[in-house]
């Protein structure tokens, strides 16, 4: 069986896993996407999803501009993106916490913007070698 992009049905590699759903009554499913669909749909590769996520598709938050999403799609599942993408998702989640005071809220937004800047740097270098402090 060949694997196709879940969005456009292209079988052309590289296809990246973007969602996995396990099933107790069967095999479950795995969704893969081509690079163009990663960009168009703003999909985050499954390998970067938080462990607590339910396995469904996860999109890059609005703080990540479209041009950066395109550059990150080229890097695919590069392990160097794991830490910053995880921190980005955590920071964005904090911005939605209604119990934060104004300072905490602004700090979470500032952190998200700083992580986007780090991701820009990684994308500019092809994600191959994080500079010190970026792979934290």
Query: Region 31-39: what's the mean pLDDT?
Result: 94
How many other C-beta atoms can be found within 10 angstroms of the C-beta atom of residue 44? 25
Grade residue 14 by pLDDT with cuts at 50, 70 and 90: confident
Report the Cα 131 to chain-centroid distance in Å.
20
Query: What confidence tens digit (pLDDT) does each residue in 42-95 have?
Result: 999 999 999 888 888 999 999 999 999 999 999 999 999 999 999 999 999 999
Q: 116 or 54: whose pLDDT is higher?
A: 116
Taking 60 as the threshold, does the pLDDT of residue 129 lie above it? no
Domain coordinates of the chain in residue numbers?
Answer: 16-124
* DSSP for 93-107, written as a single string: HHHT-TT--HHHHHH
**What is the average pLDDT score of the chain?**
89
- How far is 97 from 108, CA to CA, in rounded Å? 10
Residue 21 has a pLDDT of 85
Residue 134 has a pLDDT of 47
pTM of the model: 0.84
Residue 133 has a pLDDT of 54
Local structure of residue 47 (DSSP, 8 states): G
* 6, 31 contact by CB (below 8 A): yes
Residue 68 has a pLDDT of 98
* 75, 122 contact by CB (below 8 A): yes
Q: 12 or 20: whose pLDDT is higher?
A: 20
Percent of the chain with pLDDT over 70: 91
């Amino acid at each position: 069986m060949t694997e196709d992009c879940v969005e456009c049905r292209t079988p052309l590699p590289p296809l990246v896993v973007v969602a996995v759903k396990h099933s107790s009554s069967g095999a479950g499913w795995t969704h893969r996407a081509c690079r163009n669909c990663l960009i168009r749909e703003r999909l985050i590769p499954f390998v970067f999803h938080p462990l607590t996520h339910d396995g469904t598709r996860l999109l890059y938050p609005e703080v990540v501009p479209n041009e950066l999403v395109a550059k990150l799609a080229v890097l695919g599942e590069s392990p160097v993106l794991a830490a910053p993408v995880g921190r980005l998702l955590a920071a964005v989640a904090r911005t939605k916490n209604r119990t934060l005071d104004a300072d905490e809220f602004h700090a979470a937004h500032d952190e998200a913007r700083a992580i986007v800047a780090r991701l820009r740097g990684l994308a500019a270098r092809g994600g191959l070698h994080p500079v010190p402090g970026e792979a934290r």
